[in-house]
Structure 1
Amino acid sequence: MKEIKQIIAAYDTAISQQKNVVLATVVHIEGSAYRAPGARMLIREDGFFTGAISGGCLEGDVLRKALMVIADLRPALITYDTSDEPGNNGIGASLGCNGIIRILIEPVDPDNETNPIALLRSATKERTPSILVTFFNPDDKKNKQQGTRLLLKEDNFDLTSVDQPVESADIKQSFATRSSAFIRYNGQPGSVHAFYQYIAPNCSLVIAGAGNDVIPVVQIAEILGWDITLMDGRTVYNTAERFPGCQLITGNPEEIWNNIRTDAQTAIVLMSHNYAYDKAILKLALNSDASYIGILGPPNKRDRMFKELKEEGIELSAEQIERVHGPTGINIGAETSEEIALSIISEIKGYFAGAPSDTSLKNQSRSVHKRRTRISASIKTYGILILAAGSSKRLGVPKQQLVYQGNTLLGNAVKSAMEIDTGATVVVTTPSDADTLSQLKELNVEIVINGESSEGMSSSIRAGVRHLQNEYPSIQQILIMLCDQPYVDTAHLRQLIHQQQSSGAPITASLYAGRKGVPAIFHSSMFDELLSLTGDTGAKHLIEQSDEKVAIVPFPKGAIDIDTAAMYQELVSGKIQKEADHDR
């Protein structure tokens, strides 16, 4: 976010000086690269530039090509092969990145109210997530339609006026998984690619305390461009002279808390060195939206606070306890205030980036950067197959019709599936199940009748796969799910799709009770094997046979399915939920 703001400021300066500019954006990488997709560089006609699209090795060549874009006002997609392979003009040997980098250079028209800089400016105005959409075409590198065209907000986007191939389902998937995506849409000429860049709000750091040891924490956070707020009851410490550029709030916790704004990108760190003050802030922070709450001090300080809160009748949930990091920071052998500050900021940065907290880069065999760069097909190329033709012999009544949370198990499964808006959602049932057939008509879902259900689950899988192949030839992935796993929800199904898009694995399965199972996604390369299943063999059997081809998404609650009346009673009474939370 800091670099984006610097580019916006540089653009404003260039326009005030009546200088033409172009924007260079890393739109895709394969392999290793110094900067991730979304890195940008603003280039003026006089050669001055702001931002970076590499470690300094590509900027010179991009500058030369940018001047050509300024001259003919036409975007250009440039591809750099930094590998050590023959035929790449020796670039790889000098860079050592060993990857392919695609950079889109596009002119910025100041008269266009939706030019790329205007969209970036809009992304920084509010503390809400955005998706910036940039189109590029590897098959037509000077296609005029390439460029940054859309800025979308999660609850407010309209695609009716878009003249490019975008799908709302793909946008919702990026928002739901808080990740960028690269989607290939078939068009003429060639294939148009959409880079959906997920832009999270800037990190907001709220510190309880304004002592001397807070100063280096603030200084490092400022370098990163974070938004910083300080709370303290001492006016002599909490001053603009000591903390220029910070929002300063002075007073007792209860009096000033209403002035604190928190969201999912907020970290709160308690370091006032006043136990009562820190505890009062902790009590308030636990009920806020802040994702990270750090406590400076030893573990027994944290434990004492938890104990006293419990004595006051405040029962902390597992989710609340998970957000508390006490002691705050990572172990780097810190002793001085500056070293402790580095430890604290490092943990917060890693936490919001989803990085492992206890892994040295030296010991990592995989890539240092956790980047999703695989180009995927649209959500519309996925189909969902819900199996609901079982006889429920152990239960004695059709499990599809069991009521849970105001709906039937089947109704909940269909609702979770349809919220994703894939290419098709199909339920396989039997001709004799009148109640299920009646319910499905109200759910506006496609129904496949399996007249061979007595053979077992394999017949339902075959019937569903055949229907999707015949009616939806564009379907490339099938997500198979059951109706008796009550904790399967839209969020988990989205994570499965996200993992499949990221890995490209032939099978992406849920992991529970030490085994891989459904819900699971099968790529088209596995369709013939699904169609070859016989008897009472389900998809889990194929998953076990194909172990090396399987990517996983942990889902402990997937082990819970409703096969007996006793289990159903435990489900509706909440006993299963409590046990699951305790195990977590």
Structure 2
Amino acid sequence: MERSETRQLVEAAHEAKRLGQRVALATVVRVRGNAYRRAGASMLVREDGAQACMLSGGCLEPEVVESALDVIASGERSLRHYDLSEDTLWSLGIGCGGNVDILVERVTGDDVLEAWLSVLERGESAVLVTPLTGAQGHLLVSSSGPPLGMLTRRGDVALGLMEAATRHARSLLAQAEAYSGAATVSAEEFGEADLFFGVHQQSAKLVLFGAGHDAIPLARLGDEFGYDVHVVDAREAYLTRGRFPAATRHLLAPEEFEDAVTSGALTFDARTSAVVMNHHLARDRETLRVLLTLPAGYVGVLGPRTRFERMLDELRSEGFTPTSEALARTRSPVGLHVGAETPEEVALSVVAELMALRRGYEGGFLSGHAGKIHALPETSSVT
């Protein structure tokens, strides 16, 4: 789930608690063929029938709410299969041609599921492991520290299964962009179990170098799409909360940026994107020099390609030669080629490019594409 959707889910859970309402969590755990949402999409349902977030285009929600009300009342979870092919009731004639499995569980009174909602609220990275077949219970795995909860089979703690599931969960957390999905897990002296790994990663970072007028819509859109936005500019007057209400942090000068990187207050990794947009040739060149030494997953330089190549030539003439790996992560011009002109349009094209690159897509037209739109593996085997 994206951050805006996660916020809705958490806020709905708090509102339910304030009203004294029990809640259930419905999650898409498998997708075969084409469907509206991918695995990991979730919806919260209160016992009065109110819901937050969506699992489809609206065709499945009424049925899932009814199932959730039964689960809230009984405490027994529900795993149901929905065929979305054209001639079935639930497609309502949309003809997607796929099918989904949806798991519904009561959150209220379940310590691990309530802890999972707390993880979502804090924005931490963790994986919720939920058995679909072959075991019971939950396991909440972070990148460090012991897991919370346990997995059992016929009343016995399945230690081997928990160890295999924990290893797989942590391997997902180590990836730059990991996705929720089901996996068949094998463990010695246990056999196999189908487990669902619900992945939540800390927000990716978007660092904007330049606080001009065109940075404002990019910061706003970046926040809406789940980025922690940071702004770097030497002009203190430009770095106001009124101009950048969505920014996570304001770094008033390049020296403060360097101090933050050195101290570890601001880290750069494969999930960090940086956009150079100072509109000042010398400042952009020095910014580029620094960024090409950091492990950012994306470095975008606003402006024409000739300007970018001029900056590289000047850096090389000064004795700085970037590595081929650093240049492979650098893009100029930035954004998708959609004819963007206004600052808002440019922001849209840049965020669309960031999304495509993070998720491994080309960013071209979907028209004429005959394959699965969300072409990611949904099932794997783990030992």
For the criterion TM > 0.5, the same-fold answer is: yes
- Quick check: 1:366 aligned with 2:367? no
Shift of 1:39: 0.3
What secondary structure is seen at the aligned counterpart in 2 of 1:80?
strand
- What is the match of residue 155 of structure 2? none
- What is the match of residue 143 of structure 2? 154
Mapped to 2, the partners of 1:332 and 1:322 lie a distance apart of 22
Does 1 or 2 have the higher relative contact order (CA < 8 Å, sep 6+)?
A: 2
CA offset digits 1:243-298 (Å, max 9, x no partner): 11313434431333333333321111111212222222222222223211110001
Change (3 A) 1:181 1:65: closer
Shift of 1:179: 4.5
Return the letter of the residue paired with 1:95.
Answer: I
- What is the match of residue 182 of structure 1? 182
- Quick check: 1:136 aligned with 2:129? no
- Say whether the 8 Å CA contact 1:253–1:277 is kept in structure 2: no
CA offset digits 1:128-158 (Å, max 9, x no partner): x432212213x9xxx9x36xx2222335455
Shift of 1:6: 2.1
Instruction: Please say which of residues 265-274 and 173-182 is displaced more in the overlay.
Output: 173-182
- What is the match of residue 381 of structure 2? 377
- Say whether the 8 Å CA contact 1:238–1:248 is kept in structure 2: no
Q: How many percent identity over aligned positions?
A: 33
Mapped to 2, the partners of 1:172 and 1:25 lie a distance apart of 21
Instruction: Please say which of residues 195-204 and 211-220 is displaced more in the overlay.
Output: 195-204
Return the letter of the residue paired with 1:264.
Answer: A
Shift of 1:123: 5.2
Shift of 1:314: 1.9
- What is the match of residue 257 of structure 2? 256
- Say whether the 8 Å CA contact 1:78–1:104 is kept in structure 2: yes
- What is the match of residue 113 of structure 1? 111
Mapped to 1, the partners of 2:350 and 2:168 lie a distance apart of 36
Return the letter of the residue paired with 1:108.
Answer: V
Mapped to 2, the partners of 1:205 and 1:28 lie a distance apart of 31
Mapped to 2, the partners of 1:152 and 1:185 lie a distance apart of 16
- What is the match of residue 274 of structure 2? 268
Return the letter of the residue paired with 1:323.
Answer: R
What secondary structure is seen at the aligned counterpart in 2 of 1:96?
coil
Shift of 1:126: 5.8
Mapped to 1, the partners of 2:351 and 2:179 lie a distance apart of 22
Return the letter of the residue paired with 1:289.
Answer: P
1:53 to 52, 55, 69: 55
Shift of 1:63: 0.7
Mapped to 2, the partners of 1:192 and 1:221 lie a distance apart of 39
- Quick check: 1:352 aligned with 2:358? yes
Return the letter of the residue paired with 2:84.
Answer: T
Gaps of 5+ in 2: 153-157, 261-265
Shift of 1:32: 1.0
What root-mean-square deviation, in Å, do the aligned CA atoms of Structure 1 and Structure 2 show? Answer: 2.7
Shift of 1:237: 1.8
- Say whether the 8 Å CA contact 1:6–1:50 is kept in structure 2: yes
- Say whether the 8 Å CA contact 1:80–1:101 is kept in structure 2: yes
- Say whether the 8 Å CA contact 2:207–2:230 is kept in structure 1: yes
Shift of 1:180: 4.1
- Say whether the 8 Å CA contact 1:57–1:95 is kept in structure 2: no
1:5 to 7, 21, 27: 7
Mapped to 2, the partners of 1:289 and 1:134 lie a distance apart of 34
What secondary structure is seen at the aligned counterpart in 1 of 2:293?
coil
- What is the match of residue 104 of structure 1? 103
CA offset digits 1:494-536 (Å, max 9, x no partner): xxxxxxxxxxxxxxxxxxxxxxxxxxxxxxxxxxxxxxxxxxx
- What is the match of residue 194 of structure 1? 195
- What is the match of residue 90 of structure 2? 91
- Say whether the 8 Å CA contact 2:209–2:232 is kept in structure 1: yes
Instruction: Please say which of residues 29-38 and 363-372 is displaced more in the overlay.
Output: 363-372
- What is the match of residue 429 of structure 1? none
Query: Which protein is bigger by CA-based radius of gyration?
Result: 1
What secondary structure is seen at the aligned counterpart in 2 of 1:362?
coil
- Say whether the 8 Å CA contact 2:80–2:101 is kept in structure 1: yes
- What is the match of residue 32 of structure 2? 30
Change (3 A) 1:251 1:160: closer
- Say whether the 8 Å CA contact 1:234–1:250 is kept in structure 2: no
- Say whether the 8 Å CA contact 1:253–1:280 is kept in structure 2: no
Return the letter of the residue paired with 1:97.
Answer: C
What secondary structure is seen at the aligned counterpart in 1 of 2:182?
strand
- What is the match of residue 16 of structure 1? 18
- Say whether the 8 Å CA contact 1:81–1:91 is kept in structure 2: yes
Shift of 1:240: 0.7
Mapped to 1, the partners of 2:256 and 2:90 lie a distance apart of 60
What secondary structure is seen at the aligned counterpart in 1 of 2:336?
coil
